[in-house]
Structure 1
Amino acid sequence: MRFIEEHAKWLQHHLKSRSGERKGRLERGHGHGETMFLERVWWPVFGNLDDLHPEYEVCDWRGRPYFLDLVWMPGDGRCKFAFEIKGFGPHVQQTDRIRYRQELNRETYLHVLGYKVIAIPYDDLAEQPDLTISLIKMLLSPYLSSVIWTTDTLDWSAMCLRLPCAVTNHFVRSILYKSSRLTGVQPYKHFNR
């Protein structure tokens, strides 16, 4: 299915499951940067929007709610990634010391809660999404291994084979090789050599 249709269905699903400020924030907050990340980075890597949550609400250490751009919680939710799309204007030029401190404290607290916070530069999404794709693949490949070892029917072409650089490809192959020695499953046979 094409991204535009899948994105619309995904967004509608999340809107239907929310009410009040959580719904209002999703209507107002899921904007151009988040959509560009999903279309130019996430979709080419995964081909779906499974386990992604837009404008995800968390409370800070003071009990105040705030919203993360996108949260990915695959499987049982023990592994949590927070993707924050950061434009130069709002996150650098239009900030002051107080907002800057609050942003850093917020990210530190998210780490305390178990989130792996990933800052995505808006300009890279617009100008060089391939760099962001490579970095996301390197970052997520160790966490995808828990899925890899449970089946040898995983479609590697959709998951890992579109790696744009030999270093990343070598990194993923080494993870697969080491893990296959422990499990007996040999998913690395699906790599094009």
Structure 2
Amino acid sequence: MEFEEVHSSFIEIHTNQRAAERRGRLLRGHNYAEKLFLQNVWWPLFESLEHLHPEYEVFDWNRKSQFLDFAFLPPNGVRFGIECDGYQSHIKDMDRDKFSYALSRDTFLTGMGWKMLHFSFDDIQQRPEVCRMLLQLALAPYLARRAAAPHLLSEEMDILRLAWRIARPLRPKDVTDYLQINFRTARRLLISLSEKGLLKPVKSKERVRYYEVKLMHSDQIW
């Protein structure tokens, strides 16, 4: 299915599930920037809007209702709040009290177990590849753990954590230094992760020199 068709169905389903202010907030709040985030950033990575909730209601420490642009709630229990921030509405027009509250709200939600992700509208519109890279970096460790953990060795999981942390192509030497193992063992583990579809080998002069974290699609993580 194409994005426009999936998006229309996505909004219709969530609208029909809501009433009163929660329904009104969705109809008022899900606008151009939020749709563009889905189209430019989320959809190219995952080709699915499953487990995403637009204009998701949360409460602050005073039980005051607030709405996140998106909540991503996969079955493994991790909770991501995603905000699409425009300069005009989120910075330029924000007074000191609103600025202080926004920071406190994010800190409160973090304390309550949420993982908050912010993307600027300018990046969503003009540099979506940067947003996709950052989103993948933030989500991959939590989503891959659920999908891959049953058939990964502990050393392989350690290598994946290293690859996500350094955020650059991984060399066998990185693995030998990190795990204090020999080159042959490091290479065997990297090949194993590649065969399991979690790392992608990068060749130079017909030889594999590096390994990159492979982008994950919806059939691997949901």
**Both structures adopt the same fold (TM-score exceeding 0.5):** yes
Q: Deviations over 1:124-148 (max 9, x none)?
A: 0111100011111111110122123
**What amino acid is aligned across from residue 147 of structure 1 in structure 2?**
A
Contact 2:68 2:81 in 1 (8 A): yes
User: Normalised by the size of structure 1, how large is the TM-score?
Assistant: 0.80
SS at match of 1:49: coil
C-alpha distance in structure 1 between counterparts of 2:148 and 2:34, whole Å: 28
| 1:118 alignment partner in structure 2 | 117
- Please report how far the alpha carbon of residue 113 of structure 1 lies from its aligned counterpart in structure 2 after TM superposition: 1.4
Distance in structure 1 (CA, Å) of the matches to 2:28 and 2:151: 40
**3-state SS of 2:147 partner:** helix
Q: CA deviation at 1:188?
A: 2.8
Identify which of 182, 188, 191 aligns with 2:194: 188
Contact 1:138 1:168 in 2 (8 A): no
Instruction: Determine the structure 2 residue equivalent to 1:50.
Output: 50
Correspondence 1:68-107 to 2 at 5 A: 68-76=68-76, 78-107=77-106
Cα distance in structure 2, aligned partners of 1:101 and 1:71 = 22
Please tell me the residue identity of whatever aligns with 2:105: R
Please report how far the alpha carbon of residue 112 of structure 1 lies from its aligned counterpart in structure 2 after TM superposition: 1.4
Is the Cα–Cα contact under 8 Å of residues 134 and 168 in structure 1 kept in the other structure? no
Q: Contact 1:83–1:119 at 8 Å: present in 2 too?
A: yes
Amino acid of the structure 2 residue aligned with 1:128: R
Q: Kindly indicate whether residue 2 of structure 2 is the aligned counterpart of residue 2 of structure 1.
A: yes
Residues 18 and 168 of structure 1: CA distance in aligned 2, closer, same or farther (over 3 Å): farther
TM-score by length of 2: 0.70
Superposition pairs for residues 4-23 of structure 1, below 5 Å? 4-23=4-23
Q: CA RMSD in A?
A: 2.5
Aligned residues: 170
Q: Which amino acid aligns with 2:123?
A: D
Distance 2:63 2:122 in 1: 32
